[in-house]
Structure 1
Amino acid sequence: MKNISTTNSLTPSPHNVLDSNDNIPKTPKSPFSSKILMSPLASPMKKALTYMEEIGHLTKLNDPQDDWLPITESRSGNAYYAAFHTLSSGIGVQVLLLPLAFVTLGWVWGIISLSLVFIWQLYTLWLLIQLHESAPGLRYSRYLRLSMAAFGEKLGKILALLPTMYLSGGTCVTLIIIGGSTMKIFFQTVGAYNTPVSTIEWYLVFTVSAIVLAQLPNLNSIAGISLIGSLSAVTYCTITWVISIVKGRPQDVSFETVENKSDVARICSILNALGMIAFAFRGHNLVLEIQGTMPSSLKSPSHVPMWKGVKFSYSIIALCLFPLAIGGYWAYGNLVRTFTIWIVYIT
């Protein structure tokens, strides 16, 4: 009996355990912690932190696949690079058709249409910039990814792949034709060679030059080339409308709206003029990729410097497009048809 009682006395009871734990010194707590945790703000704060952790706002925004793709491999872009790339991609030879659109629309509707399309261009660019990081923890640097996120994987591929492919192919063909023809005219003007070179050969020269340029590692590495392209585009737009105004109007200039023989022809002319104005605006195809070259975090999202670059570049674009359209139509009137046909012919 003594052994049994001794054994029982050595077995700790629950009460003894609690008593022994009470003697262990505990980490001192702040006297204000219990009050804060018991306050009405504690529960919403915990829920907010949990929600932010779940949706990924506290994680670094990054797409692992973009780390090795050539265009978005570098994340060192800034607002200046965005301005150069956007300005270079936003002005093209299509702006020379703007005075021709005024021949059909006239002064009032021509300016109104040009202004509305310009506002719509800025609005859609702003939408794309915001959608680039619309999903927490993801960056949509390409239209295919954005389309798949918006419409689902299957439907998104169907809606995005075909337009991307034929627009990219059409853009490449157009650039080769314009670039090769321009190089031919330039070398003929400066007299840099005596041996005649065919237009097809100049297309080949331009294509090879583009292939060599494409070997650069990422989009940020051609920021200097985008700067040169931006300066060139602004220069030829400015020279075009300044010379048109300074040189003065030719004889027999008329600003009367051209009347068509039938209502169908009139509607087609109006639609054609609106198409010329819409065709002068471009650059949506590169917005997501340009923004994808910028660093992004919760405190410094990429849409802030991107929007700054877009606003600066499109202020310059507006100073090129509106004077060119208004000044060209003021200088040539309905005779701008002949002027535009000559421009299209040499390009």
Structure 2
Amino acid sequence: EHNENSASESMRTDLNGWTYNCIWESEWWYSAFRNVTAMVGAGVLGLPFAMSQLRWSAGICAMFGSWMITLYSLCQLVELREVVPGKRFDRYPELGQHAFGKKYGYWFIMPQQMTVQVASDIVYMVTGRKSLKKFFELVLPAVMSPLRHIYFIFIFAAVHIVLSQTPNSNSLRGVSVLAAVMSLCYSMIAFVASTIKGSHHHPVSYGVRSHTTAGKILDSFNALAAVAFSFGHSVVLEIQATIPWSPEVPSKQPMWRGSLVAYAIVALCYFSVSISGFRAFGSLGDDDILISLEK
């Protein structure tokens, strides 16, 4: 067992008998930028809109509460991965089978994981389509502007199909670093632009968006859903699975260090964008802060 754990690469077999390639050569900073990449996505651009639905006090409380809850749940997952001496639960179904039994654990976890995955895929396909279309309209307006939206979805999907053929997540290390840097950059662009826009003292309303009881309730639930979506972390075990592990030096220590750094960056991105965006546009903002900035 010790020789297997000391190896940098091995073939793992999970509780269902499926074999997959596993490489343990990541450091704590790899887990930091991978967690940033996994969390800071398109959802951050909609946080000012969610703030406008909840307003200042409730919005900040919802943001901080979600940040604390997800940080605590991540801590629990990091601890549970090596809760059984000599075993590693590298994927959620494995942990589910340990908790609920081999027969029911897999089918208890997998539908939930698939629901999250499919929903995330839909959101990012739509967001990727919008981003690609906007990019090509700026670079090649005469050629790309007439194209229908479906073609940009195909382009976005084709790139991800190619990337998915890599043997493991370590093969995408460079892509993860680039994605983390880009996530931080566009969050800071939204923050700085919103701060400048908010300093112009243009008329802004911080009142409610809806004036009926049903509308206020619906806005509140929509905002809470947007905040919860933004703070999701669905690949924690898979990220930790790339960190070297041994009975003497568990992987939870570097994983926890990287997660704290990642959550500090997440807090910087999320709170800066949501507060500056809501301050600049109030209840008149769109569901994407970049669209609001274009007006």
Task: State the TM-score bracket (shorter-chain normalisation).
Answer: 0.7 to 0.9
Q: Which residue of 2 aligns with 1:215?
A: 165
Q: Give the number of the structure whose alpha-carbon radius of gyration is greater.
A: 1
Distance 1:188 1:136, change over 3 A: same
Instruction: Say whether 1:313 aligns with 2:262.
Output: yes
Mapping 1:294-313, distance limit 5 Å:
294-313=243-262
Match of 1:251 in 2: 202
2:189 — aligned with what? 239
Equivalent in 102, 113, 129 of residue 153 of structure 1 = 102
Matched residue, 1:95: 44
**Distance change >3 Å, CA 95–CA 339, structure 1 → 2:** closer
Output the amino acid matched with 1:64.
R
* Cross-structure match for 2:272: 323
SS at match of 1:64: strand
Tell which deviates more after alignment, 333-342 or 97-106. 333-342
- Measure the CA separation in 2 of the matches of 1:111 and 1:222: 35
Instruction: Write out aligned runs for 1:174-189 (5 A).
Output: 174-189=123-138
C-alpha distance in 2 between matches for 1:254 and 1:214: 45
CA deviations over 1:276-317 (Å, ceiling 9, x no partner): 21121122x110001011111122110011111111111111
Contact 2:191 2:273 in 1 (8 A): yes
The aligned residue for residue 13 of structure 2 is 65
CA distance in 2, matches of 1:64, 1:251: 59
Matched to 1:260, the amino acid is H
**C-alpha distance in 1, partners of 2:160/2:217?**
40
How far apart in 1 are the matches of 2:220 and 2:291? Answer: 22
Question: How far apart are 1:211 and its partner, in Å?
Answer: 1.4
Q: CA 1:318–1:78 in 2, change beyond 3 Å: closer, same or farther?
A: same
Q: What's the CA shift string for 1:305-336, capped at 9, x where partnerless?
A: 11111111111111110011111111111111
Which letter maps to 2:164?
A
Contact kept in structure 1, 2:63 and 2:227, CA below 8 Å: yes
Q: Choose the corresponding residue for 1:163, options 105, 109, 112.
A: 112
Aligned to 1:229: 179
Contact 1:59 1:137 in 2 (8 A): no
Q: Which residue of 2 aligns with 1:15?
A: none
Q: Report the counterpart of residue 55 of structure 2 in structure 1.
A: 106
Q: How does 1:41-52 map to 2 (within 5 A)?
A: none
Q: Calculate percent identity across the aligned residue pairs.
A: 32
Q: CA deviation at 1:165?
A: 2.2
What secondary structure sits across from 1:69 in the alignment? strand
Residue of structure 2 in register with 1:46 after alignment: none
Whether contact under 8 Å (2:45, 2:288) holds in the other structure is no
Larger RCO: 1 or 2 (CA < 8 Å, sep 6+) = 2
List runs of 5+ in structure 2 lacking aligned partners: none
Provide the rounded CA distance (Å) in 1 between the counterparts of 2:263 and 2:269. Answer: 9
CA distance in 1, matches of 2:217, 2:136: 42
Compared with structure 1, are the counterparts of its residues 312 and 193 closer, same or farther at alpha carbon in structure 2 (3 Å cutoff)?
farther
Shift of 1:253: 0.8
How is 1:134-149 mapped onto 2 (pairs within 5 angstroms)?
Answer: 134-149=83-98
Distance of aligned partners of 1:126 and 1:57 in 2 relative to their CA distance in 1, 3 Å threshold: farther
Query: 1:250 deviation in Å?
Result: 5.9
Q: What is the aligned-residue RMSD (CA, Å)?
A: 2.7
Q: Distance in 2 between matches of 1:137 and 1:153?
A: 18
Aligned length: 285
Deviates more, 1:90-99 or 1:253-262: 253-262
* Residue aligning to 1:205: 155
TM-score, normalising length from structure 2? 0.87
d(CA) in 1 for partners of 2:118 and 2:73?
23
- Which of 317, 334, 339 is residue 283 of structure 2 equivalent to? 334
Are the structure 2 counterparts of residues 89 and 59 from structure 1 closer, same or farther at C-alpha, using a change threshold of 3 Å? Answer: closer
**Structure 1: which 5+ residue stretches go unaligned?**
1-55
